[in-house]
Amino acid sequence: MLTCRSCGKLIDRTGIAGAAPALCDECRPRRVAPQPPFPVGTRFGRYTLVEYTPSLPGLARARFRCDCGRIKELQVSNVAQRGAHDCGDRVRHPRLGGRG
């Protein structure tokens, strides 16, 4: 049995392996889930963020809908910072004033 450093409550660690906690469950700070970097509905060029998808920590991925209707799953930082601004279909998105 251990004592909580904050409130003095007894902590029962019987049968539990690992490092002993210094605080009881009530005194231990709760972990807050990280907030997504951009709210759903944010526009990036011709893309609109539709929903976040499961991904590795630190690599936020989401589904984006292009103005032409195509949906692509991309890494959010590639769209927000690196300028991926449309789905790349040159038939649906012809370049204005560019080459051929």
Q: Which residues contact 49 (CB under 8 A, 6 or more apart)?
A: 38, 39, 40, 41, 42, 43, 62, 63, 64, 76, 79
| Across 1-26, average pLDDT | 78
Structure tokens at 55: 């991904």
User: Cα(74)–Cα(30) distance, rounded to whole angstroms?
Assistant: 31
3-class DSSP assignment, residue 3: strand
Predicted model pTM: 0.60
Could you state, in order of their start, the residue ranges of all structural domains in the chain?
1-30, 33-88
CA distances from 52 to 48, 65, 76, 88, 94 (A): 12, 12, 9, 21, 29
Give yes or no for residue 99 having a pLDDT over 60. Answer: no
pLDDT (tens digit, 9 = 90+) per residue, 33-54? 667 788 999 999 889 999 999 8
